[in-house]
Amino acid sequence: MKPDFIELMDTTLRDGEQTHGLAFSGIEKLTVAKFLLHDLKVDRIEVASARVSKGELESVKGITAWARENDLLDAVEVLGFVDFETSVDWIKEAGGVTMNLLAKGSEKHCRLQLGKTPEQHFADVEKTVDYAVSNKFNVNIYLEDFSNGMKDSRQYVYDFIESLSRQKVKRIMLPDTLGILTPKLTREFISDVVEKFPNMHFDFHAHNDYGLATANSLEAVLTGAKGLHGTINALGERTGNGALEEIVVAINDHTGFRCNVDEANLIKASKLVERLSGKRVPGNKPIVGSDVFTQTAGIHADGDVKGNLYVNKLLPERFGRTRSYALGKLSGKASIEQNLKELGIELSKEQKKVLLERVVELGDKKEIVTKEDLPFLIDDILKTPEEKKIQVVDCKIVSGYKTRPAATVVLKFAGKEHKGKGEGVGGYDAFMNALRKIAKKTGLQLAELEDFEIRIPPGGKSDAIVETTIYWRHKNKAFKTIGVDSDQVMATIKATEKMLNTVVRTLSYK
């Protein structure tokens, strides 16, 4: 291993699955495992705990079979327990060859939870390790509650690591199980064990109870840890684990070390896990949030125009994204100009002024304006001759109990009307299938739907306004459109109509 290289182990599929209300299916686990190892290029993944269920056994079998075919089996790890043969046999049946053995890293856990003396626990661990090694396993050891162990019973931790140093253990993994560490304590504890046991490989495993997981992981690396653990989107019990995406970028930007992880695929990994887990990523989540590369204040847009004055190392292009400039009550002339430039629309100075006034007015009313909305605002307030290039003229959706949803859509573009019919698992799915039939006949291009959100005001009134935001990708460019209506499906269709016009307008500017 290169001296400047930090090994990353992703535990989204094991520790991350301890997130409240989360359970991945077997096919979902396989999908995530493939992406983590093949596309994101994480060094190792921890995919399950032994003995959990028959379904979990089958999930691990699917992952190990794929990993074996792709020469990645050594990168797949399963949590095991100090139960002599049982966990090892389970992992062996599942096709695995690496066990992460969960042992007690604090004397309090050893005596109170296990009811054993340290000597008894150490002996049980050694017996389990010996059996695993006899089955040609790689063995790593978790010292559970290591952080409290170092605070309350440091000699116990030393004695345990000393015992492990005489066994065939590849890595000793040091978890801050309850997320109690500060960067100062992390520095003290990691440097202490590294100094006492310089020939051992130590991993650090952070939890985020105080919001310090990334900072603590950084300190662990700077004081001698050779590996770090994390989960995509910081999934995990309570407040979650260290966020892999934050840890990777922090190491690359704030230390002399490097990671194998492909930064350009961090956003894709986040979106994949978000979709499969059902756990939404906050818009301001570092690196992967939807808002993190958006400048809102007009002064920031102005500074970027005049010399990238509000730019740091976190360039969006590193992660396959682009910087955007929000439109709202804080917008300035530079914000408008940046967005118009991206759309390829030229306006006079006076027209820009009127447009800015309208954007600020809408922002005051808490209405969201996107870049894709600007052409429609221009058509409306400036009375320009440009109209919608594509219009949903008519749409009928039929849905009912024990009735497969069906849709009939009439679309007008290029001076002609085109009709399509489709069925689907829901009303909007039927609409999209009808739209795809029209697109196939006419050559119309559609963007790929990546995600959508539906927001309604509280109160539950039958006439409540529904706001649908849909996230699209077309020709590797991401954008979003918003539709508003009293009917949820129609709000979604209006957002889709904006997508169609955005795609056509973009193509016309090429």
Is residue 130 included in any domain, yes or no? Answer: yes
Residue 283 domain flag = no
Instruction: Specify whether 186 is located in the same domain as 87.
Output: yes
Residue 381 has pLDDT above 80, yes or no: no
Cβ-based neighbours of 400, under 8 Å, separated by 6 or more: none
This prediction's pTM = 0.78
Give percent of the chain with pLDDT exceeding 90. Answer: 63
Tell me the sheet residues that pair with 395. 409
Residue among 197, 148, 206 nearest 175 (CA) = 206
Q: Note down the domain range covering 315.
A: 294-381
Write out the two tokens for 486: 């009293």
Read off the pLDDT of each residue in 452-460 and give the average, rounded to a whole number.
66
What token pair was written down for 509? 């500017």
pLDDT of res. 461? 47
Q: Is residue 287 part of a domain?
A: no
Q: What is the pLDDT of residue 236?
A: 96
Looking at the fold, whether 133 and 241 belong to one and the same domain comes out as yes
pLDDT band (50, 70, 90) for residue 460: very low
Q: Phi-psi bin for 99: left (phi > 0), alpha (psi -120 to 50), beta?
A: beta
Last residue of a domain, one of 210, 245, 276: 276
Count of domains in the chain? Answer: 3
Question: pLDDT band at 400, cuts 50/70/90?
Answer: confident
pLDDT at res. 48? 97
Residue 146 located in a structural domain: yes
Please compute the mean of the pLDDT values over residues 239-248 and round it to a whole number. 97
For the chain, report the end-to-end CA distance as a whole number of angstroms: 47
Task: Give every CB contact of residue 469 below 8 A, 6+ residues apart in sequence.
Answer: 368, 452, 453, 454, 455, 480, 481, 482, 495
Distance between CA atoms of residues 324 and 217, nearest Å: 30
The lowest-confidence range among 78-92, 117-131, 287-301, 489-503 is 287-301
> Considering Cα of 334, then 336, then 340, then 343, what sign does the dihedral take?
positive
Calculate helix-pair angle for 266-277, 244-254, nearest 10 degrees. Answer: 160
Beta-strand relationship, 138-144 and 171-175: parallel
Q: Do residues 141 and 259 share a domain?
A: yes
Least confidently predicted of 138-147, 164-173, 459-468: 459-468
Overall average pLDDT of the 161-165 stretch = 98
- For residues 34 and 329, what is the distance between their CA atoms, to the nearest angstrom? 44
Please tell me the distance from the alpha carbon of residue 54 to that of residue 268, in angstroms, as a whole number: 30
Beta bridge partners of 413: 390, 416
Reply yes or no on whether the pLDDT at 373 is more than 50.
yes
User: Which candidate, 384, 355, 387, 357, places its Cα nearest to that of 371?
Assistant: 355
User: What's 420's domain CATH number?
Assistant: 3.30.160.270
State residue 83's pLDDT score: 96
d(CA 285, CA 321): 15
Residues 368 and 243 occupy one common structural domain: no
Is 284 part of a structural domain of the chain? no
Give the least confident one: 188-202, 205-219, 472-486.
472-486
In a domain, 2, yes or no: no
**According to the model, what pLDDT value does residue 306 have?**
63
Same domain, 247 and 353: no
DSSP string, 383-418: --S---SEEEEEEEEEEETTEEEEEEEEEEETTEEE
Which residues face 101 on adjacent strands? 80, 141
- Indicate if 14 belongs to the active site: yes
Q: Give residue 276's pLDDT band: very low, low, confident or very high (50, 70, 90).
A: very high
Burial letters for 306-335: b for 16+ Cβ neighbours within 10 Å, e otherwise?
eeeeeeeeeeeebbebebbbbbbebbbbbb
> What is the structure's pLDDT at 1?
46
Q: Do 14 and 158 share a domain, yes or no?
A: yes
**Same domain (yes/no): 342, 361:** yes
Q: Are 135 and 204 in a shared domain?
A: yes
Q: What is the mean pLDDT of the chain?
A: 88
Give the CA distances from residue 175 to residues 147, 229, 242, 373, 474, in Å, rounded to whole numbers and listed in that order.
7, 9, 11, 48, 42
Asked if residues 173 and 160 have their Cβ atoms less than 8 Å apart, the reply is no
Extract the tokens encoding 206: 């952070």
What is the pLDDT confidence band of residue 162, given thresholds at 50, 70 and 90?
A: very high
- Rounded Cα–Cα distance for residues 502 and 480 (Å): 10
pLDDT digits (tens, 9 = 90+) for 50-63: 999 999 999 999 99
Q: Quick check: is 144 catalytic?
A: yes
Is 322 found in the same domain as 354? yes
| Co-location of 252 and 141 in the same domain | yes
- Do 298 and 266 lie in one domain? The reply is no
Q: In the prediction, which pLDDT does 502 show? A: 85
Active-site position among 7, 46, 107, 144 = 144
Q: Is 95 within a domain? A: yes
**118-137 burial: b if 16+ Cβ within 10 Å, else e:** beebbebbbebbebbbeeeb
Give the whole-angstrom CA distance, residue 342 versus residue 441: 30
For residue 121, tell me if it sits in a domain.
yes
Q: Which of 14, 44, 187, 358 is catalytic?
A: 14
How far apart CA 292 and CA 246 sit, in angstroms, is: 13
Q: Pairing relation of β-strands 171-175 and 202-205?
A: parallel
